[in-house]
Chain A
Amino acid sequence: MTSLPADSTPVPHPSLSELFRAFFSMALHGFGGVLPWARRAIVEEKRWMTAQEFNEAFAVAQFLPGANVVNLAVVFGGRLHGAAGAAVALAGLLLPPMAIVLVLGALYGRFGDLEALQRVLGGVAAAAAGLVGAMVIKMGQPLLREGAPALIVAALAFVAIGVMRYPLPYVLLVLAPISIGLAAWVRR
């Protein structure tokens, strides 16, 4: 673990229940993405990690398979309290949103066929697609600096999955090694 910067005070080691409450509250604040809230809570408010430590933990969380914030809860909780810490952070992160969407899902099941609700959801669905569209642009920009091989790989992944609708496992088993090979070749 890297040392704390000089201006930060030593931080008390959070207990399991503090861990649970912190992730519980992040999950409930996280509209349109939990990550900004996770960073704010862990780095700025609680000072459980430095910005540098958070970035490194997030890089691992993003790179390994699975939802990014879910992985972050596992990495962060695991570092503090092992498997129990990971489980507690995960429970705090997932249980409140699960309860909320189950209520919404039940309402959708009951009233989803109503004309008015269909019209409202039609609008919201179009906006939801736009929100993730903005994230694609943000994610894609760094690729422009990477050059042609990275752009071609991204385009191939898009076409294979989004247009051709090939099964994801097969596409990844072919494309991931190629992309890693290209990355090694570019950095040789």
Chain B
Amino acid sequence: MKLDTLGTLGLQFAILSLFAIGGAMAVVPEMHRQVVEVQHWMSDRQFADLFAIAQAAPGPNIIVVTLIGYQTAGIAGALTATAAMCAPSCVFTYFVSRAFDRFREARWRIVVQAGLVPVSVGLFAAGTFIVARAADRTLVAVCVTLVTAAVAYFTRFNPLWLFAAAGVLGYFGVV
């Protein structure tokens, strides 16, 4: 049963690794679909919590897969999920980036690159929507999300302060 879970987790994330166009947020909706809706490994609320913890911790955003793996199957799950999410894309990048340097000015590369940008923006927006939908269960929570977005957009405030403020609001039962 445990091995089964690890196998499914590893296989699903390894496939996703190669479809992460534009970065970690692109695969958040599909990770959510797999672990919450298809496999029922965690609740919507837990997914939002893990995403928040990963955001509040230092390091690349993709580190949320470590937490998802841990929540699903402990340390083995964390290592499996992280390796599966990183290894395929890293090997691909290692070999293809070298070849790509030669085509820096090539028309096809410029076109492919330009064509993938709108897709990655749409995926990033979808990832944000999934996370916001899971996190924003009250009107005040929606306001916290909007205010945080505005502050992060217009200022260079360290996001940790925003998280701390939102956590304090949460603690006092405002959110």
Q: Contact residues of A with B, CB < 8 Å?
A: 27-34, 56, 59-71, 74-75, 78, 83, 86, 90, 93-94, 96-98, 100-102, 104-106, 108-109, 112, 116, 119-140, 142-143, 146, 149-151, 153-158, 160-163, 165, 167-169, 172, 175-176, 179-184, 187
Contact = CB atoms under 8 A, between A and B. Distances in A.
Given A97-B60, A183-B114, 13 more contacts: A56-B104, A64-B89, A66-B89, A94-B86, A100-B58, A120-B171, A123-B167, A129-B132, A132-B127, A142-B117, A149-B118, A162-B126, A180-B115
A30 B59 CA distance: 5
Query: Could you tell me the dominant secondary structure of chain A's interface residues?
Result: helix
A67 B58 contact: no
B63 to A, nearest CB: 5
Interface in B98-155: 98, 100-101, 104, 107, 110-132, 134-137, 141-142, 144-153
Contact of A116 (B117, B121, B171, B174): B171
B11 interface: no
A134 B85 CA distance: 25
Nearest to B109: A63
Q: Which 4 A-B pairs have the closest CB atoms?
A: A97-B59, A123-B170, A157-B122, A130-B148
Contacts of A70: 60, 62, 86, 89-90
Contact of A67 (B49, B62, B152, B170): B62
B162 A168 contact: no
Interface of B: 15-27, 29-30, 33, 37, 46, 48-63, 66-67, 70-71, 75, 78, 82, 85-86, 89-90, 92-94, 96-98, 100-101, 104, 107, 110-132, 134-137, 141-142, 144-153, 158-160, 162-163, 165-175
Contacts of B97: 60-61, 64, 71, 74-75, 78
A133 B149 contact: yes
B5 to A, nearest CB: 16
Contacts, number: 375
Contacts of A59: 113
A122 B115 contact: no
A68 B124 CA distance: 13
Most buried by B among A116, A126, A139, A172: A126
